[in-house]
Amino acid sequence: MANSEEGCSTQLIDGDGTFNATGIDRLIKEVKLGECGLSYAIVSIMGPQSSGKSTLLNNLFATNFREMDAFRGRSQTTKGIWLAKCAGIEPCTLVMDLEGTDGRERGEDDTAFEKQSALFALAVSDIVLINMWCHDIGREQAANKPLLKTVFQVMMRLFSPRKTTLMFVIRDKTRTPLENLEPVLREDIQKIWDSVPKPESHKETPLSEFFNVEVVALSSYEEKEEQFKEQVASLRQRFFHSIAPGGLAGDRRGVVPASGFSFSAQQIWKVIKENKDLDLPAHKVMVATVRCEEIANEKYADFSGNEEWSQLEEAVQSGPISGFGKKLSSILDTCLSEYDAEATYFDEGVRTGKRKQLEEKLLQLVQPAFQALLGHIRSGSLDKFKEAFDKALNGGEAFSVAACNCFESFMALFDEGCADAVITQANWDTSKVRDKLKRDMEAHIASVRASKLAELTALYEAQLKEALSGPVEALLDGANSETWPAIRKLFRHETESAVSGLSSALSGFDMDKQSKGKLLSSLEAYARGVVEAKTKEEAGRVLIRMKDRFTTLFSHDSDSMPRVWTGKEDIRAITKTARSSSLKLLSVMAAIRLDDGDADNIENTLSLALVDSTNVAAKDRSITTADPLASSTWQEVSSSKTLITPVQCKSLWRQFKAETEYSVSQAISAQEANKRNNNWLPPPWAIVALIVLGFNEFMTLLRNPLYLGVIFVGFLLIKALWVQLDVAGEFRNGALPGLISLSSKLVPTIMNMIKRLADEGANAAANDPHRNPPLASKNFTNEGNASSEMSSSASSGLTESDYSSPSKQD
């Protein structure tokens, strides 16, 4: 393959007719032809050797085809067919440079390749350039008339009609105007078309159905190079958008997508090659006499004792032998050749018949060894297939792809082994051994498929169990009116996710819809089973769950803090709320409701029977109603979905109430004790008596304000002591424990208060030096004032302690 800045080229078909599949694939990949879809064009050129075809293409399409060296004389420059990309032309255009016709290198008789290449060009090209000299118009050979005639005839037989543009390029145009040359060419082409024998389906088909004919003329490249290049540049413009309506190939039909061009061209060339020779050589027949039979028996005995054959026969029992068929064929061929040499002069008919008998006897002798070899090849291929198949699956390859690839690969390996073992003289059928290998491979694939499907199913079942068990348990633990809708939503989401994942995983197994649907349905049923099993498990612990929920709600407030029974709480309302929540839990656990249509009136039934009926009976015991729980089934709920029957619910509720009564009675007792402890004020009648009997003392206080000051200071002292000693808190535990505690703390508290007052007074004196006169007399004179100030400071200190003590205690 050649590369340059202008483009790239490769030899598509060599001079021997071998198709270069690797080269064209590499070219197509490099020019990204596969991305073009139908937007591409194929141009080819044919014509006499050394007529300047490559030069024209290089100037017209900026390709890099090899050109003839004029100084070395005229000779074959292009061998076979070369393919290149046209630079700078849209859409993507590929051009084929064909080997020239009438070349002396191939000789006069070998025109088969010329015809094949011309037919190939017409079959795959949208535009075919026919290069011809101007002075050769009207000449039979130079104008390619016989070649076109053959190509027209064979093309109609091999290929379906497609529209191809034939552009005749007249080189070295003379003074004769193109208007005079073009009619002559068109008339010659029409005559060729009319003279070609056509099949019945194309008897009346006109030339225009298969071809568009265009004629252009170019000046001499050597004598008028500048004019030649201008004309080529003008012609180049016609190849832009050549496949658009009105373009050179605007009405083409049967276009192959660009990604399939390589394969299409290869198959077309294969068909053309298979039709190269239509005559088959005749087989010669010889006759032998009685002597031929004697010669045949002699040769059979010689073969049986042949040392090389004996070694092959012994070796094949232990394993496969490389080149077995070729070696044995050679021995047989030698034996038969010796027979032929000795029986040459005998009657041809007899000689041939006896030779055939000899060959059959020899083949019967070697057939057991051949069958043993096939057995070794079959077992070896099967073992390698299993190993490669397992390796491909472990490497992450899709099951069906791995199975298909390995199956085809090792069936091909078996075929290669059979081809190596084939004896030229025999025509034995290896299909039975091949079918046995095929069945063994298919059985192994089926076994592995079943194993892999079981692993996949187990994997997604484990994922479903993990995804459903925990969340379902959590939802049932926090049972409320949205529990089953939430479980249904979770069930659908996880099931759809698992089914989708399994479905994607199963896509690599190439399963039929019925088998795939069966596996997916099984996974859905497993998911339902997980939810139902978890629900049944939780239903078995429903009484414990109910008591836990009642305890949680009854013993904790809305902030989840432990509840203190101070006397302000409504125990009846709290108890009712906790029991209603527990009843909700019982109703959720009573039946499985995984389907949208499942009835969900169990909670109302339980509430009516266990809560409302109690209230109604308490109000009017004369009313007698039917018990809705006196049944073993729930209304509109199948027995398969029932976890706790109505009768069991009634029994569980009775047991639940009995086991929670103690907590309620304890709360009531604690509340009453707390009320008694907090009621430290005297009775109202005592307060009224104090007011009546103490009226005179109250009036005395009003007449003497000094008493009020003393009482106020006393109040402050008592208030400070009250706060410091936390009298209310001490009496909370009872009167006697409170008195004992206060008696032990009273004296230390008073001493602490006095000490603090003294410290504050000293600090105030130290911080104010102007209040300390130097003379002792002033100290003595102001002693009364200092005492007054100390009294005031003590009063303020008591007031401060009144407000500061609670914060310090807090």
Q: How do residues 353-407 score in pLDDT, each as one tens digit?
A: 777 887 888 888 877 887 887 888 788 888 888 888 888 888 877 778 888 888 8
Sequence-ordered list of residues with C-beta below 8 angstroms from that of 300, at least 6 positions apart, any chain: 358, 361, 362, 365
What pLDDT score was predicted for residue 685?
80
Mean pLDDT of all residues in 232-251: 89
Q: Please count the structural domains in the chain.
A: 4
Count of C-beta atoms within a 10 Å radius of residue 65: 22
What pLDDT score was predicted for residue 681?
61
Per-residue confidence band for 280, with pLDDT thresholds at 50, 70 and 90: very low
Choose from 335-349, 701-715, 748-762, 789-803 the range with maximum mean pLDDT. Answer: 748-762
Residues 204 and 174 in one domain: yes
Is 52 flagged in the annotation as binding?
A: yes
User: Of 191-200, 437-446, 571-580, 673-682, which gets the smallest average pLDDT?
Assistant: 673-682
pTM listed for this prediction = 0.42
What pLDDT score was predicted for residue 385?
84
What pLDDT score was predicted for residue 804?
36
Is 669 flagged in the annotation as binding?
A: no
What pLDDT score was predicted for residue 810?
32
Mean pLDDT of all residues in 723-744: 76
Is 51 flagged in the annotation as binding?
A: yes
Mean pLDDT of all residues in 704-732: 78
Residue 451 has pLDDT above 80, yes or no: yes
Q: Which amino acid is at 464?
A: L
Residues 307 and 410 in one domain: yes
Cα separation, 535 vs 63, in Å, equals 78
Is 53 flagged in the annotation as binding?
A: yes
Using the 3D structure, point to which of 695, 715, 745 is the last residue of a domain. Answer: 745
Residues 714 and 566 in one domain: no
* Assigned domain for 706 exists: yes
Q: How do residues 611-642 score in pLDDT, each as one tens digit?
A: 765 554 444 544 445 676 777 777 777 777 78
Per-residue confidence band for 324, with pLDDT thresholds at 50, 70 and 90: confident
DSSP letters spanning 589-611: HTB---STTS---HHHHHIIIII
Is 47 flagged in the annotation as binding?
A: yes
Comparison of pLDDT for 483 and 40, the residue scoring more: 40
Domain range for 361? 279-428
Using the 3D structure, point to which of 245, 278, 311 is the last residue of a domain. Answer: 278
Is 769 flagged in the annotation as binding?
A: no
Per-residue confidence band for 144, with pLDDT thresholds at 50, 70 and 90: low
Residue the block writes with tokens 């190079």: 225
What pLDDT score was predicted for residue 233?
92
Is 198 flagged in the annotation as binding?
A: no
Residue 344 has pLDDT above 70, yes or no: no
Choose from 53-67, 139-153, 169-183, 307-321 the range with maximum mean pLDDT. Answer: 53-67
Mean pLDDT of all residues in 789-805: 35
What pLDDT score was predicted for residue 85?
92
Structural contact between residues 19 and 266, judged by C-beta atoms closer than 8 angstroms: yes
Is 54 flagged in the annotation as binding?
A: yes
Mean pLDDT of all residues in 508-515: 78
Residue 281 has pLDDT above 50, yes or no: no
Q: Indicate the burial class of 521 (C-beta count within 10 angstroms; 0-12, 13-18, 19 or more).
A: exposed
Mean pLDDT of all residues in 478-506: 83
Residue percentage of the chain with pLDDT more than 90: 5
What pLDDT score was predicted for residue 5?
41
Q: Write down the H helix ranges in 422-570.
A: 431-477, 483-506, 513-539, 542-555
Question: 12: helix, coil or strand?
Answer: strand
* Assigned domain for 795 exists: no
What pLDDT score was predicted for residue 792?
36
Residue 794 has pLDDT above 70, yes or no: no
Which H or E run includes 28? helix 21-31
Cα separation, 5 vs 435, in Å, equals 54
Cα separation, 528 vs 461, in Å, equals 11
Mean pLDDT of all residues in 12-24: 89
* Assigned domain for 704 exists: yes
Using the 3D structure, point to which of 640, 663, 680 is the last residue of a domain. Answer: 680
* Assigned domain for 810 exists: no
Per-residue confidence band for 236, with pLDDT thresholds at 50, 70 and 90: very high
Sequence-ordered list of residues with C-beta below 8 angstroms from that of 433, at least 6 positions apart, any chain: 371, 374, 375, 377, 378, 418
Residues 467 and 493 in one domain: yes
Cα separation, 477 vs 581, in Å, equals 11
Residues 125 and 209 in one domain: yes
Residues 229 and 174 in one domain: yes
* Assigned domain for 372 exists: yes
Comparison of pLDDT for 151 and 563, the residue scoring more: 563
Residues 197 and 343 in one domain: no
Residue the block writes with tokens 């791995």: 402
* Assigned domain for 37 exists: yes
Residue 438 has pLDDT above 80, yes or no: yes
Mean pLDDT of all residues in 256-276: 73
Mean pLDDT for the chain?
76
